[in-house]
Amino acid sequence: MGKIIDGKAIAAGLYDQMRQEVEQMEVQYGRRPGLTVIIVGEDPASQVYVRNKEVNAKKVGLVSEVIRMPEQTTQDELLAVIARLNADTTVDGILVQLPVPKHIDKDAVIAAVAPDKDVDGFFGMKSGFTLKHGYVAPCTPRACIHLIKTTGETIEGKHALVVGRGELVGKPVATLLLNENATVTIAHSRTRNLGEIARTADIIIAAVGKPKIITGEMVKPGAILIDVGINRDENGKLCGDIAFDSAEPVAGWITPVPGGVGPMTIAMLIRNTLDCYLKHVK
Ligand code: GUN
């Protein structure tokens, strides 16, 4: 019987812990960590994400600011705001909500954020997130690793399969798994024999955006399954990249969709902000 990894409960525990940590930080270092989110334009999904980030940042006690800029903002105007925040010693984390309007070069914007304030972990991606570089890891990949660790099972030496090679999840989570000494396979849309490979995996991270592509018969008994997918099934119901009903009885552990990785990503954004703060005050 698969055991459910309850992302919502794990995130709630992290928020409690971080709230206490922020209180102690203020006593010890004389200020609270600051997170500033910039949103350009009116994209409705982005508005919801940013609102969620703001609510949770405040819940933990961060100094949280959202800068809302109009759709017609020029790239230079946005870069000037980022430059001001880079120089502001009360701001530990800067996040520019993506997508930005088409007339703005996303890469130029990402590159403009000071690496030590890059709570998205985009800089770390280029360096492989080694401790030497000191950058934080991106939120969703970090959430995956945290969820695996809550099972109490080791990652070291295990065969971890990442399904999906995207820049935001697949590639960085594969790097994080390597850092944890897993043996890592990355599968993608051109992979042959996905089932055969999957059946040899002790850990599967599904981040490909294809509803229910991993089914129960592709799962090794006892495997840890982390589902990053958020899709709609044929009935319009929210589902992951893993066919939960068939995989759950085979798996050792499995994250549900919704309620698995999703609730963890903003918790990890705030964790990243605290980690950036600690580097600033120490
Ligand atoms: N928009 C959707 N996901 C993300 C994310 O992880 N970071 C940023 N900056 N924007 C996003």
Q: What is the CATH number of the domain that holds 152?
A: 3.40.50.720
Are 166 and 229 contained in the same domain?
yes
Residue 257 sits at the vertex; the CA angle it makes with 118 and 60, to the nearest 5 degrees, is: 40
pLDDT at 135: 85
- Ligand 1 close to Cβ of residue 97 (< 6 A): yes
Active-site annotation, residues? 53, 97, 120
DSSP state of 125: H
pLDDT at 26: 98
Are 149 and 79 contained in the same domain?
no
- Among 120, 271, 272, the mutation site with the greatest number of ligand 1 atoms within 8 A of its Cβ is 120
pLDDT at 1: 47
Distance separating alpha carbons of residues 232 and 214, to the nearest angstrom: 15
Q: Is 157 left (phi over 0), alpha (psi -120 to 50) or beta?
A: left
How many A from CA of 55 to the centre of ligand 1? Answer: 16
Distance separating alpha carbons of residues 223 and 251, to the nearest angstrom: 5
- Ligand 1 close to Cβ of residue 120 (< 6 A): yes
Residue 40 sits at the vertex; the CA angle it makes with 37 and 45, to the nearest 5 degrees, is: 80
- Ligand 1 close to Cβ of residue 118 (< 6 A): no
Residue 103, domain CATH: 3.40.50.10860
- Among 50, 98, 136, 264, the mutation site with the greatest number of ligand 1 atoms within 8 A of its Cβ is 98
- Among 43, 51, 94, 95, the mutation site with the greatest number of ligand 1 atoms within 8 A of its Cβ is 95
How many A from CA of 98 to the centre of ligand 1? Answer: 5
Are 103 and 151 contained in the same domain?
no
Q: Is 13 left (phi over 0), alpha (psi -120 to 50) or beta?
A: alpha
13 located within any domain: no
- Ligand 1 close to Cβ of residue 206 (< 6 A): no
How many A from CA of 138 to the centre of ligand 1? Answer: 10
pLDDT at 244: 97
Whole domain around residue 55: which residue ranges?
Answer: 30-115
Low-confidence residues of the chain: pLDDT under 70: 1-2, 126-133
Total of domains in the chain: 2
What predicted TM-score, i.e. pTM, was given to this entire model? 0.95
